[in-house]
Structure 1
Amino acid sequence: MTKPRKVDTEKVQLCYYCTNVIEDLGDLVFRKVPLATPKGIFQKNRQFHLKCLIEYNDKLENLELRQEENSDWDLVYRYFQVDILGLSKTQNLDKHAVSRLLGLRVGKYIPNGTNTRTLPRGYDFKIILTTLKVVKPKVKAYMATATLANDKHRIDGIMRFVTSEINDVAKRMETQRKSNEKLVKEEVKEEFDYMKLLAERKQAEVEVEEDEDLDTTIEALLGGN
């Protein structure tokens, strides 16, 4: 973690991680983050809330999360390449197509130096992939009838369909996620209630057996048959 010698107190400081304003300069910290540029990857200072920096570092250390995001990105790339554009797997997407897809991940037109992994902004790759599947019929019809000046024009035309639908897809997927979580909780509760009922029945059986044993012992002491 680094801290520049001077901070422009007149300038609004936005957290690199959550993008919210850092209102308390005492909560302002800096960290060098790797940023992709046309000339390569460079370490650049970015400002964070202290709490956000801790969370950012934790996510960077979570290798499984990064691997999952990379896997999801591969699915997005392949679907756009093969199913949307009709290219073969050996034909790479051009730079503009990749930039537009990654821009969705961080909620921008293109990433423009913003990391596209582990940040809680934009839309995750699962949402992007689902949206591509939703708009595929419209995109195919568009490409079959539209007059396209060049590849950039074609990609931007496709992305208009994506950006018009992606927020609705995200809301629907979030609703489904919450519904699934609720279902799981209900199933866990039902299982817990069932196990609790079995335990109560078992305890009742034990108590009955103990009562019967006690009655037998008393009868024996009193000379009963």
Structure 2
Amino acid sequence: MSKIIKCYYCGKVIETENQLVEKKIPMATKVGIRNYRRKFHMNCLPKYLEGRADKSLLTKENNDWNAVYNYFRKELLGLGETKSLDTHTVRRLTGLRLGQYYPNGQNVRILPRGYDFKTILLTMKVVKPKVNMYVSNTNFSNSKHRTDGIMRFITGEINDVSQRIEQQNKASEKLMKDKDIPSFDYKAKLKEKKQEQGNTVQNDINNLFGGQL
């Protein structure tokens, strides 16, 4: 393919036309929901549609987003619950979900790229002391300047946080697998084997002599 085309779902390059499939995707815009044609790997489209159809998965990600939104507003900006985040801040946070500056006309839910909202939230908690000090000692020209300054702390730490979470998850998976593997007691197995052999010999003797010995 002469033009580089990336899959809407995984974000990786679609190498050949045989791998390419297009699908109209509903997108939230300022004037309501509009359908836009997006390009996918052939094997990625079913995964995307399955994720979109999983209401519990969507609900979970929406709840994680709410936690990110509220933490940034209260703990990093010091705003009350009646205050809303400005558009720029929301776009920076949702862009980070995809590993980008802004989401640029993409839904941010169910896509397996960038950083999930739980990782973003944990990173914000890690950098909170530094951010609070930075906000207290800096004169910002506007809210955009303040948000971008805070985001530098988050983007500077999020790769490390993501790697630590991945390592922890792998360790947990290994632990669970180890628990599922029964331990092998050599001595007990040997004793069991000898008993089986002894019982077999005794049965043969009984069968031969009619149990008279």
TM-score, normalised with respect to structure 1 = 0.82
Which among 135, 152, 169 is matched to residue 143 of structure 1? 135
- Equivalent residues of 1:108, 1:122 under 8 A apart: yes
- Structure 2 residue 73 is matched with structure 1 residue 54: no
Which residue is 2:108 aligned to?
116
Q: 2:179 aligns with which of 171, 187, 199?
A: 187
Deviation at 1:79, TM superposition (A): 1.0
AA partner of residue 96 (structure 1): H
Shift of the alpha carbon at 1:212? 11
What is the CA distance between 1:193 and its match in structure 2?
2.9
Distance apart, 1:223 and its partner CA:
5.4
Deviations 1:85-129 (A, max 9, x none): 122222222211111111110111111211110111110011100
Choose from 30, 33, 38 the match for 1:41: 33
Structure 2 portions without partners, runs of 5+: none
Offset at residue 82 of structure 1 (A): 1.5
Please state how far the C-alpha of 1:12 moved relative to its aligned partner.
2.3
Aligned amino acid, residue 44 of structure 1: Y
Residues 206, 212 of structure 2: 8 Å contact kept: no
Quickly say closer, same or farther: Cα 1:210–1:50, change in 2 above 3 A: same
1:73 aligns with 2:87: no
Partner SS for 2:183 = helix
Cα-to-partner distance string for 1:61-103 (whole Å, 9 max, x where unaligned): 2222212111111111111121111222222222111111111
Structure 1 residues 201 and 94, CA, compared in 2 at 3 Å: closer, same or farther? farther
Contact 2:7/2:41 (<8 A) preserved = yes
Alignment of 1:1-225 (within 5 A): 10-189=2-181, 192-193=182-183, 207=196, 214=203
3-state SS, counterpart of residue 110 of structure 2:
coil
CA contact (8 A) 1:36 1:114 kept: no
Give secondary structure in 2 for the equivalent of 1:68.
helix
Q: TM-score, normalised by structure 2?
A: 0.86
How far is 1:140 from its partner? 0.3
The CA distance in 1 between the partners of 2:149 and 2:180, in whole Å, is: 47
1:131-167 deviation line (CA, Å, top 9, x unaligned) = 0000000000001100111111111110010011111
What is the rounded CA distance, in whole Å, between the counterparts of 1:201 and 1:38 in structure 2? 74
CA separation in 2, counterparts of 1:24 and 1:76? 38
Figure out how many residues of one structure are paired with residues of the other and give that number. Answer: 213
* 1:202–1:46 distance in 2 versus 1, CA, 3 Å: farther
1:95–1:205 distance in 2 versus 1, CA, 3 Å: farther
